[in-house]
Amino acid sequence: MFTFTRKERRALLLLAWTIILLTGLRSWWSQTNVPLQLFPASIDEGSSSQTGRMAASPAEAPRQLDDGARPAGMSDPEASEFQSEGESARARQPFDPNEAGVEEMKAAGLPGKVAYTIKRYREKGGRFYQKTDLLKIYDMTDSLFARVEHLILLTEQKPLPETPNARITININAADEEQWTYLPGIGKGYARRICKFRDALGGFASVQQVGETFGLPDSTFRRILPQLQPGEFRPGVRINEWDAAQLAAHPYIHPKEARILVNFRNQHGAYQADRDVRRALMMMDSLRLNRLLPYLDYTAEGPTQN
């Protein structure tokens, strides 16, 4: 006699219940008079519309692309501003990537992210000498470059002194902001910071101090170090005459240390040499103290000791 195993009986029972359930569902569906629609009408309409577009003649393809269709392979930074491509193409204006502001570059068709990257690149000393130089900018894809290439204007670059291959050297205490920009990696922003720091110090006592400029990358400083020449330097901190506020204005002297210097001078008389300052500023960081000492002028006499 043929018999089913326990597993087979369970399978048959499950199959029977499935058939009953489907039969009941079909009967209920037919009574509700609701048409069975596997996909929403909006999707069908979209498919029909898309099919109609695909069926359009090849001559219409460029017009459809200008109307806002996103080309395959376009990256997100481009796609975010591609929708108005056709509408704004006629209004675009040429731009100089070495001079144009962010808004001007955006008006020319560059995404904001790319425009800001170009701006930061210039601030770090970067320059564009030919149109294809823009391709080294992050997010500047080939397709985006192709759309703005005809709008790129590059003004004639100011020649460096002597020959293009000459190694430029500058006097660290005499060079102005423009001369600093001749060095590799130094743009207008860094040049301004270097000169401002130098003025606050009262001049650079050594070329190593250029590397202390706020925000200047160590890699950039090491790159320009061989091109820096020491300049004439004279101590300018009148330690026996200045009050605490004047002393604290120097980058190497904190307000608390300035008060200590004045109090020590009032108690012990005028400073005669570096050893006197070391006694007064025993708690000061030795590295910063050694940087400060070359700036101290002991020539004037302070208050006499009681």
pLDDT, average across residues 75-82: 48
pLDDT of residue 1: 52
Compute the radius of gyration of the chain from its Cα atoms: 37
For the segment 127-163, what is each residue's pLDDT rounded down to a tens digit?
788 888 888 887 888 888 888 888 888 765 544 444 3
Q: Same domain, yes or no, for 140 and 179?
A: no
DSSP 4-44: --HHHHHHHHHHHHHHHHHHHHHHHHHHHTPPP-SS-HHHH
The helix (H) or strand (E) run that includes residue 170 is: strand 170-171
* 25 within some domain: no
pLDDT, average across residues 114-135: 83
Q: Is the pLDDT of residue 249 over 50?
A: yes
Q: How many domains is the chain built from? A: 3
* 99 within some domain: yes
pLDDT, average across residues 231-244: 91
DSSP 53-70: HHTS-GGGHHHHHHTTPP
Tokens 């070495």 -> residue? 98
pLDDT of residue 165: 33
pLDDT of residue 179: 92
Average pLDDT, rounded, for the chain: 77
pLDDT, average across residues 14-40: 70
pLDDT, average across residues 82-101: 68
Q: Same domain, yes or no, for 107 and 137?
A: yes
* 306 within some domain: no
CATH number of the domain that 108 lies in? 1.10.150.320
Strands (E), 185-262: 228-229, 237-238
* 34 within some domain: no
Contact 220, 193 (CB under 8 A): no
pLDDT of residue 135: 84
pLDDT of residue 284: 86
Q: How confident is the model at residue 31 (pLDDT cuts 50, 70, 90)?
A: low
Q: Same domain, yes or no, for 183 and 131?
A: no
The mean-pLDDT minimum among 96-110, 113-127, 163-177, 266-280 falls in 163-177
Query: pTM, whole model, 2 decimals?
Result: 0.46
* 283 within some domain: yes
pLDDT of residue 120: 83
Q: Domain boundary residue among 151, 180, 213? A: 151
Q: Is the pLDDT of residue 36 over 90?
A: no
Residue 170: what are its φ and ψ, rounded to 5°?
A: -130, 155
The per-type count for the chain, helices as H runs and strands as E runs, is 15, 4
Structural domain including 91 reads 76-151
pLDDT, average across residues 14-38: 72
Q: Which of 278, 263, 275, 271 is CA-nearest to residue 299?
A: 271
CATH number of the domain that 287 lies in? 1.10.150.280
The mean-pLDDT minimum among 67-76, 216-225, 259-268 falls in 67-76
* 293 within some domain: yes
* 131 within some domain: yes
Residues pairing with 228 in the sheet: 170
